[in-house]
A = this chain, B = another copy of it.
């Protein structure tokens, strides 16, 4: 990480940015292969919009124009401007974008969105106040088929499992299972049950039992809920057996189990070993109505979920129509910060240049420029030495940055040469023909 004077606002050195850009390019590539259209929304929303989901006010950064503030202090402020704040996720702005452009968009609308978001939280525990999220969502107009609840987590699973990072596991559950179990048990306060179960890893079964008891849930009901929360498997068969062992009956439960198992079966066909059903996954947000998803990275479980989401029946509504959807969001900055600092990944060099063209004499700089132009014209990134220093110094310039090749324009009548400064091998070369190995063309991102 780069040095920075404001905590919670991460910045990378150029070599760290290469790792981040590599991750972002990879995500974009996978999202586009799956047909998701890229959009960006403005960073700013009205406070009204930002607060419409409730309970988030502590996180919002509110904007004011400095000039307007000074005018207000001087008692000269007349016009009331609409209060605006920075978006704290990409879901609220996407909902507004869909409503505003409903007539121009084609539904179901599949979009990806990779942008910074801001939260005014205390930057403790490695929490960032500014960070990049990468979201995919598909929204329908009025209706959205279930199969998207299978497709979207598999897109994210593919995107993450094809990165050179530790093994990721997508944990899935279905709200209908939990609600169905509550229904069959006669537990009416489903929200309380969800909130309690969500803390299972933190406070243990006794803690959850105490909390549920405080919400009027009986010991017997709690025992069944905790038994349900223990069920975890990648096998649809085992999930069905586990649920059967609870000995409960509810239409909603049956529907939820069918959906959860359909997801597991598709996942097993398409990406074996990545998706696991875990019935204690609750997800805090109350707008999820079907599948819910979390993702953990092996050996980095302390990061929490690096990619989460679910099915919602109403992303937005414009009064006439509702827009149901399914979506997941990757916390890119949190992930990349770990990949850089662990370190898990590193860049093979600090700059894009594959070649440094040496300068023999300032009067001959135009010859070095011509070599660089020829190389660039053939797609080879390069830099020209800043001064006609001694060659040893020019080689050191390349070495410090990790540039693998130094090009020496030949004296009059002599051939140019290019030196691989890693091996020391130096060969004659022509700028219109020489090509570095494909793997040296751009900085590589390597596993540490």
Contacts and interface: CB of A to CB of B under 8 A. Distances in A.
A34 B381 contact: yes
Given A67-B58, A67-B120, A41 B376 contact: no
Interface string A69-113: 110000000000010111000000000110011001110101100
A294 interface: no
B352 A120 contact: no
Given A269-B366, A401-B106, A116 B66 contact: no
Contacts of A14: 37-39, 105, 111
Interface in A19-74: 20-21, 32-44, 46-47, 57-70
A57 B63 contact: no
A17 B116 CA distance: 17
30 contacts: A2-B100, A3-B100, A3-B104, A5-B46, A5-B96, A6-B46, A11-B40, A11-B41, A12-B40, A14-B39, A14-B105, A17-B37, A17-B38, A17-B39, A18-B37, A18-B38, A33-B381, A34-B381, A42-B130, A44-B129, A44-B130, A57-B66, A57-B67, A58-B66, A59-B66, A65-B120, A68-B120, A147-B362, A147-B365, A266-B366
A68 B61 CA distance: 10
A383 B35 contact: yes
A379 interface: yes
A305 interface: no
A379 B33 contact: yes
Contacts of A383: 34-35, 110
Contact of A101 (B13, B65, B85): B13
Max chain B C-beta neighbours (<10 A), residue from A33, A101, A110, A384: A33
A429 interface: no
Interface in A334-393: 350-353, 362, 365-366, 369, 373, 376, 379-384, 386-387
A444 B369 CA distance: 32
Contacts of A3: 100-101, 104
Contacts of A42: 4, 6, 9-11, 130
A405 interface: no
Contacts of A18: 37-38
A270 interface: yes
B57 A62 contact: no
Nearest to A109: B14
Contact of A65 (B2, B10, B58, B116): B58
A47 B68 CA distance: 15
Given A17-B37, A351-B35, A2 B60 contact: no
Please classify the interface of chain A as helix (H, G, I), strand (E, B), loop, or mixed, using the class held by over half of its residues.
Answer: mixed
A320 interface: no
Interface residues of A, number: 93
Contact of A66 (B13, B47, B130, B365): B47
A145 interface: yes
A383 B152 CA distance: 12
A293 interface: no
Contact of A5 (B86, B100, B379): B100
A59 B362 CA distance: 43
Nearest to A47: B66
A208 B101 CA distance: 47
A118 interface: yes
A169 B380 CA distance: 26
A40 B66 contact: no
B60 A62 contact: no
A400 interface: yes
Nearest to A56: B66
Contacts of A140: 386
Contacts of A386: 108, 140, 145, 148
B13 A104 contact: yes
B100 A36 contact: no
Nearest to A442: B32
The 10 closest A-B pairs by CB, nearest first: A35-B383, A65-B120, A32-B352, A35-B353, A14-B37, A9-B42, A58-B67, A60-B66, A33-B376, A61-B63
Contacts of A38: 14, 17-18, 21, 352
